[in-house]
Structure 1
Amino acid sequence: MDHLNFAQIIAEELKVKPNQVAAAIALLSEGATVPFIARYRKEVTQGLDDNQLRQLEIRLGYLTSLHERKQTILKSLAAQQKLTPELQSAVENTFSKTELEDIYRPYKLTRNSKALKAKEAGLDPLAQALLANPQLDPLNEAQAYINPEKGIETAEAALSGAQDILTEQLSQAPGLVAELRETLWREGVVTSQLVSGAVDEGEKFKDYYDYLEPVHKIPSHRALALFRGEQAGVLRLKLDLPDVESSASHPFLARIQQFHQLQFERLPSQIFFSQIIHQAWRLKLAKSLENELFSRLRDQAEQVAIEVFAQNLKDLLLAAPAGAKVTLALDPGYRTGVKLALVDQTGKFLHQAVIYPHAPQNQWDQSKQQLAKLIKDYGVELVSIGNGTASRETEQLVSETLKDFKLSQTQKVVVSEAGASVYSASEIAQQEFPELDVTIRGAISIGRRLQDPLAELVKIDPKAIGVGQYQHDVNQAALAQSLQTTVEDCVNSVGVDLNTASSALLSYVSGLSSTLAKNIVAWRDHNGSFRNRKQLKTVPRLGPKAFEQCAGFLRIRQGEHPLDQSAVHPESYAIVEQMAQRLGVKVGDLIGQSALIKQIKIQDFVTDNIGLPTLRDILVELEKPGRDPRPTFQTAQFNDAITEINDLTPGLVLEGVVTNVTHFGAFVDVGVHQDGLVHISHLSNTFVSDPREVVKAGQIVKVTVLEVDAARKRISLSMKTSPVVNQTASSPGLVAQAASAKKTYQQHAKSPATTPNNSFGTLADKFAQLKRK
């Protein structure tokens, strides 16, 4: 299978043309990156966007891996002299790894299996003779295979070996395995029970002590919770068809017999084949299929969790920057004090200090005076306050300072400090501030992430930022790859200031490795600021290919060439110069002049290499060069009277910031050191299928407190306009709802084939909520 075949397959899946996919594959093979292709090679791919290209890249990797596995299997079959034209065709024409392994299953060389030992003892002819003619008497036929030299002392021993061979053979038929697998996935139910004697600290898995749900309807968060409970030794999971425990015979036993067309009723071989079929299911298929389907459930759940993490990370990275303003950052604390760090408009560190406004020192007034002096002396425009320990008390201190000293031009903002401590102890922080204490480094990060979240957060491992869903339970390699591409896409969509960017930020630019990023910073330190993009070619090891890939995403403010501040690629400068010449102006005079730009007839500038899509992008850039795609900066106003979870009461309306979006709802910071949950059913007065349709990380929202469980640190919130609040378990209506939900749920569990789409998830969520209340 070559790339042409891959292109055809991927094109059908993406619903695009094969030549578009083939062109993209060729560019990727040449070392082009997805951001570069999406932005500067639209003519080549006929307009494939970054999302399509990412899907293409992932699918190409899967098909390439599948192709390599096929070659390995074909070589193995050839070595076993089992490769027939039909088998080769079956291998070559499958596009599923699961189906491929089903085909190969009967030919896998299993060491030391009972079936293999029986074959080596010469019992395969006996097994095949009995299978071909069930009318034979197995014990009589086995007499001829007694062979003490090979360990076959009796006819019963020979018959046992034949059973082992047929048990393995009957359980490996590809079509049968696929059918049972899909039936079990479609109709099977997962049950979960508390392991006897297990200790569940904090009753984390209480909702799953006695739980059942159709396997194919379990949402990502519940699946990962179940697997975490099993890993912790708290839960015991099982997957099977409904009500099989009460069945005299498992439904799959009859299907195995039917599939192999075995008719042995009232024949001498009935007991012999009945035992084989039971063994095929109980010993070979049952646990194997359970493991496979649990693996499928886990893979799907992990994929959803990774997608949620990536989307939340994207929202956080593309959050509105406060901009180039002098910022005083505060990292709050009680006993150890509040650490202060001043940074200028570019994020350059200026000054550090520590104040002790809280217990035990209680230097409140002195702290206010010190804050006021720093704000006045340095012309501070923003005060960035970390949202951790002592955050609300520190915010109150800043509010009083700004009010008492009439510092109305200074704005205070509470920001997430997630990951700041990770950054402060990192190699990047040590390189940036080798002489500073880790606590001051953390404060600097809190200030810089307010000025420009993207530039600062790229220095931190995304897993430490705190926007993931069960992030430690998923495949770490897949998670890392997804987050890497997410950061790359965000960085390149915004663009990077070549003269101020850190090496960490530069390393995410298209075409730049970590080494090249460091070389750029070293060049800058030695030669001063870049004056034009051409100077990139003088950076050590930055060759023509890297320049092609990165140049358009790097900005130079007030550079020698007016287009260096824009997303126009240097390869298109000549086209822009022709446009300016046609209008009788200089390139610099054309930038930002809408009236002039509208006079350009882009059809006149189409060439073999540059078409209308790129020309349109160029005109957009000329009108607003280096435009930042991120939204306008806004801040949430926390209620000054609400600082702890015990201050919350049902019915209270608050403003908060969305910190995390999951498939079951959104978490919101309302300023009490514990995020509250807006369940998906409370995100809107209308039905919501995906929380991201309504909210995203970093969004400012109005919420109503529904319920507070201070002991378990759980806050239930609503974004509905008129939510019902403060229902209790003593309410007869609520008890009736719970009983009804449980009854309906159990009825559907017994007949999953008739359950409407998504109803199990809804019922399970509803019953779990009502049960908790």
Structure 2
Amino acid sequence: MDATTRIISRLAEELAVRPQQVSATVELLDGGATVPFISRYRKEVTGGLDDTQLRQLDERLRYLRELEERRGTVLTAIEEQGKLTDALAAQIQAADTKQRLEDLYLPYKKKRRTKAQIAREAGLEPLADALFTDPTLDPETEAGRYLRPAEGDIPAVEDAKAALDGARQILMERFAEDPELVGLLRERLWSEGELSARVLDGKEREGAKFSDYFEHDEKLAKVPSHRALAMFRGRNEGVLTLAIRLPGEDEAPIHPAQVAIARHFKIRDEGRSADKWLADVVRWTWRVKLYTHLETELMGRLRESAELAAIGVFAANLKDLLLAAPAGQKATLAIDPGLRTGCKVAVVDATGQFLEHATIYPHAPRNAWDASLAELARLVERHDVALIAVGNGTASRETDRLAADLLKLFAGKKALSKVMVSEAGASVYSASEYASRELPDLDVTIRGAVSIARRLQDPLAELVKIEPKAIGVGQYQHDVSQLQLSRSLETVIEDCVNAVGVDLNTASSALLSRVAGLNPALAENIVARRNAEGAFVSRRQLLDVSRLGPKTFEQCAGFLRIMNGDNPLDASAVHPEAYPLVERIAKRSGRELSSLIGDSATLKAVKPAEFADERFGVPTISDILKELDKPGRDPRPEFKAAEFREGVETLKDLEPSMILEGTVTNVTHFGAFVDIGVHQDGLVHISALSDKFVDDPRTVVKAGDIVKVKVMSVDIERARIALTMRLDDQPGEEAGGKPRRGGGDERRGQGKPARRNGGAGQQSQPASPVGALGAALLKAKKGKS
């Protein structure tokens, strides 16, 4: 079986699909097709694989190709040494992971001149073989046969001790490079071993934030990602030591791993002359060769799995945030709250274009409340503002009261509403090169207010301008592989943008660059063409854009919308390649194309099978009919905002049993964080999300959800709030007196960054369990000072 066939077969098995589906998809990917394009417009080719399956296939394809490339390298290297047997070649061909492949290659890998190699050069391998094969031989007597003087680079074997030391090194290396033994011990340590954390002497006070792990043991394979990453951070900061231990190893006369090594090589203590010497070989093999190697490897495995889980949390939260409901195209006034330096105000029109800015000083030390109110009223009147966006930074609740007074001024005269908006990442955007090009004449503080206004109108269109890591919905995002994190987040953004679609005539270059097939350079070319020649009236005009050829057009056209263009289909998700098909449907239905769009009765009467041909099958035609029924459908939910309770503005205003409304800001493996308007997010532990068992918090809530919560406990000193969504729960009881659900002594593993630093300050320290929930809270976000 050649490499390509092996990869296709493996992917088909993993995805539980037919090899033909995999083969066709791989061909599309290799041809430059994007996942969003394949998922939406090539269903017949892939057999209906969805975007999740396609992403998984794409990721695994990359891994398996790297595995095949490495397999070829290993086979060549061993063959060049003249050591490649048929049996070894078969094992290498059957290796299904990179780890297994490296285990097989280890004995043949070029390495520095080891003690075992020096011993072999000194002619001591026959001694090692003799004692291993026949333990009845006396080691001292046998070793005496191998004494020799120094010769060139080869040291002398002066006495029996030196000879036995050399023989020991040979066997130790041989044992430690046995792929079956290494694999066996690795999996035993992983499945049975415990991760043991201990505080370094004298670091108790300095590392108090890691106090949960000063004397902590738990099953290695079951350590949750947030706890693993917390312990790794503690080690990196010189507070904790970490080790992997097998249960009972301190009490057993012989370490369980040594027993396994001896059993593997059939070494037994039967009182024979060489048995004690062989037992020492086994002991040193474990202590010197295998333990350190396997511990390092398994720590890496734990970190990798923890990072993948943390990246998955970030990606899921980011997707929810990007697909949050847009408030819509309405003139918006944004207030970026502040105290001494004042509140920055910016007004944008319905399409997000900047109109005017101002600075007001309603709070201490100036307390110019009435003047600030008058200035806001003037801006609302002048620009026909419909939405007020209040940033959720310092003084946000005080500023929200100002906005409430503004609404009272216009009560009965004008439809005006206010919404609290997350500032996370606004400062990162305002100081970025993109913002300086987009708003070159504005101060960075005003740019931040503009961003707040735009993210209320359309979160997706605005948040794509910000590096995703700065948005602050991750779990230990600064501790994970930045390459893997970026790759994962980029795919999330691409999927979200293409799921919603992009208005070709209003989208920023940042948003356009995320469309399937496009890149930043092509996005800039589209904007330049739009600025020079006016709005696009046809998708076909994309082919006039510099460096945008037919292949790119094929990938991007279906995701770009033109409202009120020459062809009504340009405003839909119907791909231009299918326009002739739609015209046939319209003709056979006796309708004009424009009147067919939105005509549910006529469209439901169409039978997709009657129009299917070699190019368009029933799945694609069914999708087209759904799109024609409701063209340009936005998959995002209807907009709504949380109503924060009047008079509850700081931690001191909170009292146990209060029922409040809030917005879910972040979902982790151990619960959800909710903004209730007091500058610190509260934690709803997984056990308090529902009366039913919850395995994954995202099955109950997601970022952006509006939820009702009850305050269970407040720790003002440490700025922590314990909340529950089980409104019958009573403070002082463990989740209402019911057994804990969701399991486990969850410790803090991540936090929310200070809003104004763009997510750079992830607070990810462990701490003791707090509050009636018995859940360890994360340090909630800090407000800007």
- What TM-score do the two structures reach when normalised by structure 1? 0.94
Instruction: Tell me the equivalent position of 1:153.
Output: 158
Task: Tell me if 1:433 matches 2:439.
Answer: yes
Alignment of 1:278-317 (within 5 A): 278-317=283-322
1:580 to 583, 586, 590: 586
Q: In the TM superposition, what whole-angstrom CA distance separates every residue of 1:305-343 from its partner, at most 9, and x where no partner exists?
A: 111110100000000000000000111110111001100
**Given residue 76 of structure 1, which amino acid in structure 2 is its aligned partner?**
A
Instruction: Tell me the equivalent position of 2:636.
Output: 630
Instruction: Tell me the equivalent position of 1:502.
Output: 508
Alignment of 1:41-56 (within 5 A): 41-56=42-57
Instruction: Tell me the equivalent position of 2:426.
Output: 420
1:318 to 305, 319, 323: 323
Change (3 A) 1:766 1:257: farther
Question: What SS does the aligned partner of 1:603 have?
Answer: helix
Task: Tell me if 1:21 matches 2:27.
Answer: no
For 2:613 and 2:321, how far apart are their aligned partners in 1? 40
Task: Give the superposition deviation at 1:680.
Answer: 0.0
2:555 to 533, 549, 556: 549
Q: Check whether the contact 1:372–1:402 (CA below 8 A) recurs between aligned residues.
A: no
Change (3 A) 1:416 1:98: same
Question: What SS does the aligned partner of 1:657 have?
Answer: strand
Q: Check whether the contact 1:418–1:466 (CA below 8 A) recurs between aligned residues.
A: yes
**Given residue 269 of structure 1, which amino acid in structure 2 is its aligned partner?**
A
Larger mean CA deviation between 390-399 and 184-193 belongs to 184-193
For 1:225 and 1:441, how far apart are their aligned partners in 2? 36
Alignment of 1:111-190 (within 5 A): 111-149=112-150, 150-151=154-155, 152-190=157-195
Task: Give the superposition deviation at 1:7.
Answer: 1.5
For 1:253 and 1:655, how far apart are their aligned partners in 2? 58
Task: Give the superposition deviation at 1:721.
Answer: 2.6
For 2:393 and 2:349, how far apart are their aligned partners in 1? 24
Instruction: Tell me the equivalent position of 1:755.
Output: none
Instruction: Tell me the equivalent position of 1:341.
Output: 346
**Given residue 172 of structure 1, which amino acid in structure 2 is its aligned partner?**
E
Alignment of 1:393-408 (within 5 A): 393-406=398-411
**Given residue 354 of structure 1, which amino acid in structure 2 is its aligned partner?**
T
Change (3 A) 1:663 1:131: same
Q: Check whether the contact 1:680–1:691 (CA below 8 A) recurs between aligned residues.
A: yes
Question: What SS does the aligned partner of 1:568 have?
Answer: coil
Task: Give the superposition deviation at 1:464.
Answer: 0.4
Task: Give the superposition deviation at 1:772.
Answer: 7.0
Alignment of 1:369-518 (within 5 A): 369-406=374-411, 409-518=415-524
Larger mean CA deviation between 642-651 and 132-141 belongs to 132-141
**Given residue 280 of structure 1, which amino acid in structure 2 is its aligned partner?**
T
Q: Check whether the contact 1:387–1:415 (CA below 8 A) recurs between aligned residues.
A: yes
Q: Check whether the contact 1:3–1:25 (CA below 8 A) recurs between aligned residues.
A: no
Task: Give the superposition deviation at 1:387.
Answer: 0.5
For 1:392 and 1:203, how far apart are their aligned partners in 2? 33
Task: Give the superposition deviation at 1:766.
Answer: 11
2:622 to 616, 625, 641: 616
Question: What SS does the aligned partner of 1:671 have?
Answer: coil
Task: Give the superposition deviation at 1:404.
Answer: 3.5
1:642 to 626, 634, 648: 648
Instruction: Tell me the equivalent position of 1:355.
Output: 360
For 1:485 and 1:405, how far apart are their aligned partners in 2? 44
For 1:426 and 1:420, how far apart are their aligned partners in 2? 10
Instruction: Tell me the equivalent position of 1:95.
Output: 96
For 1:543 and 1:112, how far apart are their aligned partners in 2? 56
Task: Give the superposition deviation at 1:770.
Answer: 4.5
2:723 to 714, 717, 722: 717
Question: What SS does the aligned partner of 2:672 have?
Answer: strand
Task: Give the superposition deviation at 1:408.
Answer: 5.0
Instruction: Tell me the equivalent position of 2:369.
Output: 364
Question: What SS does the aligned partner of 1:702 have?
Answer: strand
1:564 to 565, 570, 585: 570
Task: Give the superposition deviation at 1:265.
Answer: 2.6
Q: After TM superposition, where is structure 1 displaced by more than 3 Å over at least 4 residues in a row?
A: 199-202, 764-773
Instruction: Tell me the equivalent position of 1:758.
Output: none
Q: In the TM superposition, what whole-angstrom CA distance separates every residue of 1:424-476 from its partner, at most 9, and x where no partner exists?
A: 01111011011111001111100000000000000001100010011111111
Larger mean CA deviation between 378-387 and 578-587 belongs to 578-587
**Given residue 423 of structure 2, which amino acid in structure 1 is its aligned partner?**
E
Task: Give the superposition deviation at 1:638.
Answer: 0.3
Task: Give the superposition deviation at 1:589.
Answer: 1.4
Instruction: Tell me the equivalent position of 2:229.
Output: 224
Question: What SS does the aligned partner of 1:148 have?
Answer: coil
Instruction: Tell me the equivalent position of 2:108.
Output: 107
**Given residue 272 of structure 2, which amino acid in structure 1 is its aligned partner?**
L
Question: What SS does the aligned partner of 1:303 have?
Answer: helix
**Given residue 489 of structure 1, which amino acid in structure 2 is its aligned partner?**
D
Aligned length in residues: 745
List gaps (5 residues or longer) in structure 1: 743-763
Task: Give the superposition deviation at 1:506.
Answer: 0.8
Q: Check whether the contact 1:322–1:452 (CA below 8 A) recurs between aligned residues.
A: yes
Question: What SS does the aligned partner of 2:335 have?
Answer: strand
For 1:193 and 1:714, how far apart are their aligned partners in 2? 26
Task: Tell me if 1:212 matches 2:217.
Answer: yes
For 2:373 and 2:642, how far apart are their aligned partners in 1? 23
For 1:675 and 1:511, how far apart are their aligned partners in 2? 39
2:699 to 689, 693, 700: 693
Task: Give the superposition deviation at 1:383.
Answer: 0.5
**Given residue 307 of structure 1, which amino acid in structure 2 is its aligned partner?**
G
Task: Give the superposition deviation at 1:187.
Answer: 1.3
Task: Give the superposition deviation at 1:266.
Answer: 1.2
Task: Give the superposition deviation at 1:25.
Answer: 0.5
Task: Give the superposition deviation at 1:602.
Answer: 2.2
For 2:145 and 2:208, how far apart are their aligned partners in 1? 62
1:329 to 310, 317, 334: 334
For 2:603 and 2:674, how far apart are their aligned partners in 1? 45
Q: In the TM superposition, what whole-angstrom CA distance separates every residue of 1:32-82 from its partner, at most 9, and x where no partner exists?
A: 000000000000011000000001001101100111111111122112221
For 1:196 and 1:264, how far apart are their aligned partners in 2? 40
Q: In the TM superposition, what whole-angstrom CA distance separates every residue of 1:99-151 from its partner, at most 9, and x where no partner exists?
A: 11111122222203211221222222222222222222222222222122232
List gaps (5 residues or longer) in structure 2: 746-767, 778-785
For 2:191 and 2:236, how far apart are their aligned partners in 1? 25
Question: What SS does the aligned partner of 1:157 have?
Answer: helix
Q: Check whether the contact 2:191–2:221 (CA below 8 A) recurs between aligned residues.
A: yes
Over the matched positions of the two proteins, sequence identity in percent amounts to 55
Larger mean CA deviation between 586-595 and 258-267 belongs to 258-267
For 2:254 and 2:589, how far apart are their aligned partners in 1? 86
Q: Check whether the contact 1:264–1:270 (CA below 8 A) recurs between aligned residues.
A: yes
Change (3 A) 1:196 1:161: same
Question: What SS does the aligned partner of 2:296 have?
Answer: helix
Task: Give the superposition deviation at 1:255.
Answer: 1.5
Instruction: Tell me the equivalent position of 1:537.
Output: 543
Question: What SS does the aligned partner of 1:413 have?
Answer: strand
Instruction: Tell me the equivalent position of 1:63.
Output: 64
Question: What SS does the aligned partner of 2:250 have?
Answer: helix
